[in-house]
A and B are shown apart, each in its own frame.
Chain A
Amino acid sequence: MNRTLERLAPFAFGGIALSLWQGGVWVLGVPSYVLPSPIDIAKAYLDDYAILNQALLSTLTVTLAALLAATLIGVALAVAMAASRLFRAAIQPWAVILQVTPIVAIAPLIIIWVNQPFIALVVCATIVAFFPILSNTAAGLAATPPELLDLFRLNGATRWQILFLLSLPSALPNFLTGLRISGTLALVGAVVAEFVAGSGGFASGLAYRIIEASYRLEIPRMFAALFLLGISGIVIYTALGLLESLLLRKRNAA
């Protein structure tokens, strides 16, 4: 009973908020170029769903490609950092610098350097997304139980056996936490990169449709694109959460 209520709570809250929004716009007579009502937004979406869905697909493709790249790079760097203190010392500050540099500042450069636009977008989104995977996986690898390491050594385990049979499985929960954060960051990164690329004339993705709509003062269409973005974020976050409980089910249950 309580669980069902908990599941329904976000939908109920969303429904109430949308109704208040709709009611407020009606009662106060706010013009739709200032604040469109939810119904205006839905209409704008239905008028233009082919183009908006196309844009969504393009943004999601960049997001998923970036998440994949971030996973490969993040895990590989974390493993290398766990294996060699020298490598860790050399890489760690640069990873942090890359993490704190605002992507809007370097996106124009990347878009100039990488002249294939799709790849440029993926590179930008990867830079935004890889750090949580790197730092969480590295923390997980470092926390491999020392007694188990001893047990492996006592039985003559090779480095690779320690990595694949012990360290990586031990770090799996941390990796999945990082992946979940990186998933939404990849979406943010993709959209920011599209904004930069879009203002340079590269027409693709939801961000470009948002810019376009704002230039033309098609505010309901702009909101429709924003809604798609928000829903995508929730779907990505939830899907990665499901993946997490699926992969950890074995060790958490009997």
Chain B
Amino acid sequence: MFSIRSVSKTYPNATIALQNISADIAHGEFVALLGPSGCGKSTLLRLLAGLEAPSKGAIEWDNAQRPGPGDIGFVFQDATLLPWADAADNVYLPLRLRGERRANAAGRIQAALAQVELTEFAHARPKALSGGMKMRVSIARALVSDPQLLLMDEPFAALDEFTRHRLQDDLHALWLRSGKTIVFVTHSIYEAAYLASRILIMSPRPGCIAADIRAAIPEGGNRRTSPEYANLVAQITETFRRIMPA
């Protein structure tokens, strides 16, 4: 889908957030960017979204097609909903910004809300929704323009364990059935191992990719209790121990 080619990012205050990062991401991969706080995960995601420009290097898109508005869905750590708009209007926002009429968009808004199982809450305002439900609305908002690429920045980090498991299950199922490319930032080894088909481990100061692990946990059954999952968690933990001595 795209290649990150020797990308470095230095912020104006001279913080080197990323140094010489390279990776090829294929269509349909579920990539977890895994690393401790401050290693440049968010920065890399913002570069992919085009919200920041790399200081060096480039991101090359397949067929030289830079994604435009609506080609990328972005989900932040906080749900960041408009507090004055109900769930449906929040989901409508990306379409509205591109000049689509509400009447034309109604079907897609409903479909996006249905994907996150919030059909009955279309007219609820954020204040009336739980943290998990707000995050679902946020995901529906990212899905409504049917983007090929979904960028998620620690979206479940602020949720309680039970809600997090539920949303992880749903996201994994969504990825399986939609075939979207997902880049998912997390600092949880378990989350990365459970969700992703590929795990890029980042190390800090300056941020770079320290390991690239393919995951192969069989679908079906309880993946959380499968030996492959346990092995993967062990493998990642071991890798971290190697690359980050005390």
Contact = CB atoms under 8 A, between A and B. Distances in A.
Interface residues of A, number: 21
B217 to A, nearest CB: 32
Interface string B91-109: 0011011100000000000
B156 interface: no
A230 to B, nearest CB: 35
Given A151-B80, A155-B70, A156-B68, A165 B97 contact: yes
A253 B126 CA distance: 9
Given A155-B69, A155-B98, A157-B97, A251 B74 contact: no
B97 A152 contact: yes
Given A148-B82, A161-B97, A169-B84, A254 B128 contact: yes
Interface string B49-78: 111000000000000000011101010101
A254 B126 CA distance: 8
Given A147-B80, A251-B83, A156 B69 contact: yes
Nearest to B76: A147
Interface of B is mostly: loop
B124 to A, nearest CB: 6
Contacts of B50: 154
B51 A150 contact: yes
Contacts of B68: 156
A153 B69 CA distance: 8
Contacts of B97: 152, 155-157, 161, 165
Interface centre among A145, A150, A151, A161, by most B CB within 10 Å?
A: A151
B125 interface: yes
Given A145-B80, A152-B97, A254-B125, 18 more contacts: A148-B82, A150-B46, A150-B74, A151-B76, A151-B93, A151-B94, A153-B51, A154-B74, A155-B94, A155-B97, A156-B97, A165-B96, A166-B82, A169-B84, A251-B83, A251-B84, A253-B127, A254-B124
Interface of A: 145, 147-148, 150-157, 161, 165-166, 169, 172, 250-254
User: Which 3 residue pairs across A and B have the least CB separation, nearest first?
Assistant: A156-B69, A254-B128, A155-B97
